[in-house]
């Protein structure tokens, strides 16, 4: 009974958006905001906080099911995301109370895969 959920498109993040999320969340790991540190760790650019992507994914579930309560939400961060990339959140409902989602960039490369259960 897999049912496709409407795609949710996210505009590209600017570097300042990652600074903003660092401040709001308190996660000041410099690989997310300081290019020099990111490069010294072998990354080409600062990477988006995984928890920012998970926050978007959780909001997508709320948007798909505004009247239902989350019971469980699990994600795996499968690829690094950067400022300037546009993302799409895709989801399917696999049973009445459970579904799967993923966040991909414009080329279709996965950044996050997740599963969720609702009460």
Partner 1 sequence: MEQEFHYAPFRVEAGKIREFALALGLRNPVYFNKEAALDAGYPDIPAPPTYTTVIDFWNERDFYQLFRVWGLDPNDILHGEQSFEYEKDIISGDVISAKAVLTDRFDKKDKRFYQIETIYRNQGNEVVRVGRATLIERREQHGAEIAGHS
Q: Does 87 bind partner 1 (CB under 8 A)?
A: no
Q: How far is the CB of 14 from partner 1 (least distance, A)?
A: 12
Binding-residue pattern over the window 14 to 53 for partner 1, x denoting contact by CB under 8 A: ---x--xx-xxxxxxxxx-----x--xxxxx----xxxx-
> How many of the other CB atoms lie within 10 Å of CB of 15?
15
1-9, 77-85, 86-94, 95-103 -> range binding partner 1 (CB under 8 A): 77-85
Phi and psi of 20, rounded to 5°?
A: -60, -45
What is the DSSP code string of 10-79?
EPPPPHHHHHHHHHHH----GGGT-HHHHHHTT-SS----HHHHHHHHHHHHHHH-TTS-EEEEEEEE-S
DSSP state of 93: E
In the bound state with partner 1, the residue whose beta carbon lies nearer, of 24 and 106, is: 24
Distance from C-alpha of 69 to C-alpha of 3, rounded to nearest angstrom? 19
In the bound state with partner 1, the residue whose beta carbon lies nearer, of 1 and 69, is: 69
Binding site for partner 1 (CB under 8 A): 10, 17, 20-21, 23-31, 37, 40-44, 49-52, 54-56, 58-59, 61-62, 66, 69-80
């Amino acid at each position: 009974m897999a049912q496709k959920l409407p795609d949710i498109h996210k505009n590209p993040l600017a570097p300042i958006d990652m600074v903003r999320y660092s401040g709001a969340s308190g996660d000041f790991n410099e690989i997310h905001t300081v290019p020099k540190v990111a490069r010294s760790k072998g990354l080409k650019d600062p990477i988006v906080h995984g928890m920012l992507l998970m926050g978007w994914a959780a909001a997508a579930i709320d948007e798909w099911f505004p009247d239902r309560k989350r019971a469980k939400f699990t994600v795996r961060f499968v690829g690094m995301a950067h400022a300037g990339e546009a993302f799409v959140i895709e989801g399917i409902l696999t049973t009445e109370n459970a579904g799967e989602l993923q966040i991909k960039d414009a080329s279709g490369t996965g950044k996050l895969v997740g599963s969720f259960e609702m009460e």
